[in-house]
Amino acid sequence: MIILGINAYHANASAAIVVDGRLIAAVEEERLNRVKYAAGLPAQAIQFCLDRAGAKISEVDHIAVPRDPMARLGTKLRFAMRMPRFALERLRVMKRFAGVQQDLASALGVAPQEIRAQIHRVEHHMAHMASAFFVSPFDRAAVLSADGLGDFASAMWALGEGLRMRVLGEVTFPHSLGMYYTALTQYLGFWKFGDEYKVMGLAAYGQPEFLEEFRRIVRSHKSNAFRLGLKYFTHQSQGAEMTWRDATSTPVLGRLFSPYLEKRLGPARRAEEPLTQRHHNLAASMQVALEEVLVAQWNRLAATTGERNLCLAGGVAFNCLANGKIFANSPFERVYVQPAAGDAGLSVGAAFALNHQVLGRPREFAMEHAYWGPDFSAEAVRRAVDGANLDSSDLQISSMDADPLVQRAARHIADGKIVGWFQGAVEWGPRALGNRSILADPRRAEMKEILNRRIKHREIFRPFAPSITEEAVREYFEQSHPSPFMTFAFPVRAEKRAVIPAPTHVDGTARLQTVSRAANPLYWQLLRAVGELTGVPVVLNTSFNDNEPIVCRPEEALECFRRTRMDVLVLGNFILERKSAAIEREAPAGEIARGAD
Ligand SMILES: [Fe+2]
């Protein structure tokens, strides 16, 4: 039984393939076509999934698409009558989906009649919820999906039991936590698609000075989760337009905040304007108001379901700051967030919703790691190294077995070098989790600035995240709940903040990745080796890229290494060491500690 899940004609296009109830592969189109947040039909992702499953498109039994044009049709029609432009947009989307079989056939170069799979529509939030619950380790759990908008709803919650999810409630357009966050992100001068996480990082620098006003912008609602103060927004009167030219362009969102919001909070920040304390306080107020709504929602959900397990999905589930507060602020004890919690994850969700809720097949799979994308043979890596355009006078290239390789990489990290780490399969979801990562010493406070200057070129207020062996979590963090996919920020223990200053954010939290030996043996071994050298089994882990989608192929890793000032690249069994590696950071351990003060 082969099921192909496709998130198409929407940002974060992706594909996933499930064979006999088990996920075989999943990847976002952006990793393959190199266009950030790529929308359109994920033709390359689909082809990769088929190849990985060893199947032809003609052998696929079912195709699951996470959008149901018939969902909430009455509400959509009422809205369309008020706003003809919206109606046209809906029609355009429906037409696109009607032609999915034709598009797929031409993208894969086959005749349409070769695709014999039945095409199923799965409602957007049902697919989000399925993307978490059906791959979680829980047989029963409360499930919550919250995002910007999908199939005319922005949130849904349910009780998941075995093969079913019983929907308990939903919030429909125009009320939306995702829209709220995006509108305020725009107001703060961040207009690029997907910029919300930047503002989350900014919030730590401020105080919630404007909380009273923000409680009018978004507020908890007893019987139906939350409400927006609609006069602060434009999407309910002008629509929420996400546009993209085709699969080769990043989507763009129109302006979502109204003149009234500017009247109440002052003029919006222009993108080029410097960030001031006022902006920090606005970001903090926005985050706190969101958390208040979520805390109330978690508690209502726990009370209605009686559950202690929670599954989260939808873009709001990427708010790791809020997620980190679940344990102290609700009865939930175990929380599962799938690595691609946003719309990319819909392909996995649609496939599993179909597998269990429609086909009634048993649950036999839990997603315990994130490595579902392309990987490359030793031969492919060797070819890439041989063919790379590198300055060999400045490089030492060697190849070695895993054990000495890990020791050598650990030594470089401990010595303050910046190490590109490329191993195994590409991560599913937006975070680098130790297979396509850039690693550095977390003990050196200056590392953040060095990484930004030499490689990442990103806003200085944005935090870097740590990876830590699961055995050491309790020693460093105030929470020890697993965070294998970097979806929780927990407070670093007060006495450890000076030990790992680089990935500790200004509010004392860190968005950690807990690494188990079972999930990623080689990366776990590397963390252990770093721990043996430095006494601290932690590395600073940032994604392997420089203002582009995370690298996928070895050629992209080599190109990123070539054009940035990375010191070392570990690529499969190869290690490339720059002879001129900067010595600016090679301070003895004593100085490292002083630097952290
Ligand atoms: Fe969504």
Distance, CA 147 to ligand 1 centroid (Å)? Answer: 5
Distance, CA 150 to ligand 1 centroid (Å)? Answer: 5
Distance, CA 314 to ligand 1 centroid (Å)? Answer: 5
Amino acid residing at 316 = V
If pLDDT is split at 50, 70 and 90, which confidence band does 239 have?
low
- Least trusted range by pLDDT, from 231-245, 452-466, 520-534, 562-576: 231-245
From 530, 525, 443, 437, select the one nearest 492 (Cα to Cα). Answer: 443
Q: CA-CA distance, 442 to 277, in Å (whole number)?
A: 27
Q: CA-CA distance, 183 to 189, in Å (whole number)?
A: 10
Question: Tens digits of per-residue pLDDT, 48-104?
Answer: 999 999 999 999 999 999 988 778 877 777 777 776 666 666 667 666 666 778 889
Q: CA-CA distance, 179 to 346, in Å (whole number)?
A: 19
State how beta strands 395-399 and 465-469 pair.
Answer: unpaired
CB 437 within 8 A of CB 370: no
Distance, CA 118 to ligand 1 centroid (Å)? Answer: 23
Q: CA-CA distance, 32 to 139, in Å (whole number)?
A: 34
Residues of the chain with pLDDT > 70, as a percent, come to 92
Distance, CA 345 to ligand 1 centroid (Å)? Answer: 9
pLDDT at 242: 55
Q: State both tokens at 465.
A: 């995240």
User: pTM value?
Assistant: 0.93
- Beta partners for residue 14, in sequence order: 7, 28
Note the helical H segments in 152-244: 177-187, 196-203, 211-217, 235-238
Distance, CA 313 to ligand 1 centroid (Å)? Answer: 8
Question: Tens digits of per-residue pLDDT, 103-137?
Answer: 898 888 899 999 999 999 999 999 999 999 999 99
Q: CA-CA distance, 318 to 260, in Å (whole number)?
A: 28
Distance, CA 203 to ligand 1 centroid (Å)? Answer: 23
If pLDDT is split at 50, 70 and 90, which confidence band does 555 have?
very high
Q: CA-CA distance, 330 to 302, in Å (whole number)?
A: 8
Task: Give yes or no for residue 298 having a pLDDT over 50.
Answer: yes
Task: Give yes or no for residue 418 having a pLDDT over 70.
Answer: yes
Ligand 1 is an ion; its neighbours by CB within 5 Å are 147, 150, 343
- Beta partners for residue 153, in sequence order: 150, 172
Residue whose entry in the numeric block shows the structure tokens 């409400």: 227
